[in-house]
Structure 1
């Protein structure tokens, strides 16, 4: 494979076949990580019974993975610069695969939690380092189509997760939920060493350990609060105290970062208009749409009486639509521009969420499928536009830090989105013994609230100017393979 190369040299030595395969390789890694966050939910009752613990105790298994992501994503950029993208990406897949195997053979809740932390360490590196590799491999003019391709797993996996989890528990054994990752991980490792370019900064600064402690602790604490949100396991005073402590830790990191030339995360990147709009816009948009994977299955299964498999099939058109947008997206962004697309598209998504609130027992199935298809198409356009705009004006030496910040904010927005959806649902459906009519009405009100929140998030994108992101969109966009 040769020694570690500088970015220009690595691109020059990258074969045509490797360049074609690279987006697929990153997409598979993204799929593994995205699927793992949803597939386990369906198996919670079976796993808790097998391990002899209460179902509520399984929350630690879910939370440990989220906490691990929150802590280790921020150091992914430094790791890639210091040790090289190929070594870090391969280590990430290896850790994730070994963690999956150990989770599958775990015989106690405590061992399972420990193995989930190990699995999360690998998952935390896969997405930002994979995205960083793509940014450094493809020119900005080619980045749009590449990112649109690799973003599909993030849309498909949350839909397939509950179905796959239900089928595995029903027909195989809950341990196969974890064993499923092993053959994919082994093949991925082989392909990484054959085809993944190795980018590494020639001069690497020391890791900001103090920043890691401050930021990692603050983010981990905030993730924990969001994970247990609404379960009443802590009193309001305890929750408030943890929130204040988390805010103090994060504020402490902000003060600390200003004093360093190379902090853990380069917060100065937020002075770049396109980066600030993309990252903050992504965060606030996901607050609204992030709860949809939680609310729609609830509406279809509890409210309308569909089976889990039928419910999963009703959201599958979203994945088909996401893939169909690949060809339309570049032309649309070239014609309308990032500002026009993100403002109008966010408004459309908000109104689509409100439209989901019209689904009831008498709604024809074809109407539900059509709404799911439209939602999938516009969600794909939204995610890809935001993800590519992040790098529009980022210098080459700052791409690793930009990737770490974007991935950290994305992970937090997902947690926030589910927490807000849970809060809205609990507010409008106060009783766990509500009948189907009350359940449907409550979910409808929650969807309307999230739709209004999504519409309000367009304010962030109004800071963009005409022409922002043209380096990414205003060129002939090639196939991801070059």
Structure 2
């Protein structure tokens, strides 16, 4: 790849403009979790109502994803990204000044809607032929994967220092500085507006309603159990709406989200494998803290320290994965990634009540390395057939699939762990989950052999 293909080089402030948006929206997905008791106490609300500060954000984020592709086509990628970042900063200010729980929930929903385009549009710029680079910068890999891990820890520090409102106020200086960087980005860094783009009201309604219903059903099922009528109705109804949207999108000329990627067999396979990788890798991240605190009786702080290296290792692995794929090819690298995930999953079978926390951290770090250098080549395979004008659709579809597949997969495994822990004990139940994750990784490794040896260059946008 020569420098012309890579696109213009970006200065530090311009890179911050592209990376701060995804960082803020991902941190805010988890940072509020630790603040729920303080918010409930200060605003005089019950915890079930306060939980909507978290759930409302995530559901609005999912709904906002469905409009991302059309807005990027119609108004231009960077114009939409800049407007979304400004709205996210404004919504953060509203959250920090909320006088009551109702205003806070509404402001969080606005924050989720505004934050939805930030990750897929930043990805489309970083990966597009016109964009900043075909290779994801090391800093991008670090921030993208470290952000979810540092959210709870950062939230705890900010609450201890100044109260829960600071978890929203901290977004303001970072967001304003990022907006300055966005204004300095060169004109050709992303595709411009297409005045011929037309909205797809029916497709947008099917996609947004289906995605929100499916995610809501998965979240309710994780908390209340998969036999609850509300969870099942929401999940099945959401699934039916998503299937209906797929049929509609493949027939209409300008769908809300272009599913042309799914017409390419290898791209569809890469998308499925990336979802499997997320479930295998991040199920342990969600389930391990429960095990370390409830069974091994470690503190939340110690558990957080054990989980923290994963973000750093995954970020470095993401950058290394691109270089290794260029040298050795996609197929062997993805196969090796899933094989390493399987070995790390087998390592969970050795974790017991007295296992030192550093051993657990080592196992999780191995999983982080595997997901780091295995996921990047999958992204390359998935997006290879797309032109720059289709990058926003491809990266949005990737984010939707990750969010939906991860929520359902982790929810199923979490519920299964709770049921098996009650039946055979927490340690044996955790080992059974480890065996399931190992089997899933081995199956994905076998499917990875169907991937192309190398990725052909993406087509130039017309």
TM-score, normalised with respect to structure 1: 0.86
Aligned counterpart, 1:447: 434
Contact 1:269-1:276 within 8 A present in 2 as well: yes
1:77 to 2:64 alignment: no
How far apart, CA to CA, are the structure 2 residues paired with 1:165 and 1:417? 26
How far apart, CA to CA, are the structure 2 residues paired with 1:199 and 1:227? 36
1:464 to 2:454 alignment: no
Contact 2:127-2:136 within 8 A present in 1 as well: no
How far apart, CA to CA, are the structure 1 residues paired with 2:385 and 2:235? 34
How far apart, CA to CA, are the structure 2 residues paired with 1:220 and 1:195? 34
* Alignment map for 1:289-438 (pairs within 5 Å): 289-325=281-317, 328-430=320-422, 438=425
* Alignment map for 1:39-438 (pairs within 5 Å): 39-136=31-128, 142-146=133-137, 149-195=139-185, 197=189, 199-232=191-224, 236-325=228-317, 328-430=320-422, 438=425
How far apart, CA to CA, are the structure 2 residues paired with 1:385 and 1:322? 14
Q: Structure 2 vs 1, CA of residues 460 and 64 (structure 1 numbering), >3 Å: closer, same or farther?
A: farther
CA offset at residue 47 of structure 1?
1.6
* Alignment map for 1:33-44 (pairs within 5 Å): 33-44=25-36
TM-score, normalised with respect to structure 2: 0.89
Gaps of 5+ in 2: none
Contact 1:222-1:243 within 8 A present in 2 as well: yes
How far apart, CA to CA, are the structure 1 residues paired with 2:50 and 2:443? 35
Gaps of 5+ in 1: 1-10, 473-482
Deviation by residue 1:294-338 (Cα, 9 ceiling, x = unmatched)? 112222222222222211111222233234436643442134321
Deviation by residue 1:397-446 (Cα, 9 ceiling, x = unmatched)? 32222122112112222322431232122222239xx9xxx434433333
How far apart, CA to CA, are the structure 2 residues paired with 1:160 and 1:449? 28
SS at match of 1:264: coil
Q: What root-mean-square deviation, in Å, do the aligned CA atoms of Structure 1 and Structure 2 show?
A: 2.7
> Looking at both structures, which has the greater relative contact order when contacts are Cα pairs under 8 Å and sequence separation is at least 6?
1
How far apart, CA to CA, are the structure 1 residues paired with 2:130 and 2:314? 22
Q: Structure 2 vs 1, CA of residues 447 and 61 (structure 1 numbering), >3 Å: closer, same or farther?
A: farther
Q: Structure 2 vs 1, CA of residues 114 and 95 (structure 1 numbering), >3 Å: closer, same or farther?
A: same
Deviation by residue 1:258-293 (Cα, 9 ceiling, x = unmatched)? 331111122232121332122121122222223222
SS at match of 1:356: helix
Deviation by residue 1:332-362 (Cα, 9 ceiling, x = unmatched)? 2134321221122112113212313422343
Contact 1:289-1:417 within 8 A present in 2 as well: no
How far apart, CA to CA, are the structure 2 residues paired with 1:228 and 1:338? 38
How far apart, CA to CA, are the structure 2 residues paired with 1:312 and 1:368? 12
How far apart, CA to CA, are the structure 2 residues paired with 1:399 and 1:17? 20
How far apart, CA to CA, are the structure 2 residues paired with 1:183 and 1:223? 32
CA offset at residue 461 of structure 1?
2.8
Q: Structure 2 vs 1, CA of residues 24 and 458 (structure 1 numbering), >3 Å: closer, same or farther?
A: farther
Deviation by residue 1:211-266 (Cα, 9 ceiling, x = unmatched)? 00011101110011112223328963333332332233222222322331111122
Contact 2:215-2:235 within 8 A present in 1 as well: no
Aligned counterpart, 1:480: none
